[in-house]
Chain A
């Protein structure tokens, strides 16, 4: 069974620090990878997607992909209290758009 693993947290970082969120996946055939942010009581919203090895940057967010190690991460620079949320990693196994989600990592940014 294809799996996506994340540490549930909570991960606590001080305001202004770099938050590092990690995700591993089981199937080497995975093609694209997504990070969603979910605030408490709200639905997930897309932050970034990545499909090539290496880094992809968007503002304070950087996604990193290492297909050889089956590892994808999300770095949040200059963390803000408003970044406090659960971050979901999702993987596309090329099954017509179906994504497999990890259980999410809860991030808490302390002022």
Chain B
């Protein structure tokens, strides 16, 4: 089974703090993603990465950065947390080596609930 692990499940941070959200996948997937999910807004893509040290902006990258130094690990960084970044953050991964459309299946971690006060 694919396993995507988000190390921090529940965090409370102060405005202006630097926040790191870590994600590790164990299936040798090339693609990794960070989404945030808010009521009424659905899943919104923050950043994604197709390979080590590669990253591309998603739909809402402002206020975030990412790091992918190793294939299995993808980190989301909030340089200076703000209250409007209170949300659930979901890490996900997928493989583009698999044949057929099933290779695009995205597998999600359990989520990290971040509250910024």
**B-binding residues in A (CB < 8 A):** 8, 31-32, 34, 42-46, 49, 51, 88, 90, 92, 96-99, 101-104
Contacts and interface: CB of A to CB of B under 8 A. Distances in A.
B111 A42 contact: yes
Contacts of B94: 97
B111 A43 contact: yes
Contact of B41 (A49, A88, A96, A103): A103
A92 B108 contact: no
Contact of B109 (A31, A43, A46): A43
A32 B107 contact: no
A96 B101 contact: no
Nearest to A96: B50
A43 to B, nearest CB: 4
Contacts of A31: 101
B31 interface: yes
A108 to B, nearest CB: 16
A49 B42 contact: no
A32 B109 CA distance: 22
Interface residues of B, number: 27
Contact of A99 (B30, B41, B106, B111): B106
A98 B48 contact: yes
A101 to B, nearest CB: 4
The 4 A-B pairs with the shortest beta carbon distances in the complex, nearest first, are A32-B101, A103-B42, A51-B101, A43-B108
A45 B96 contact: no
Nearest to A104: B42
Given A97-B96, A101-B43, A43 B110 contact: yes
Contacts of A46: 105-107
A98 B33 contact: yes
Interface in B35-75: 40-43, 45, 48, 50, 58
B104 interface: yes
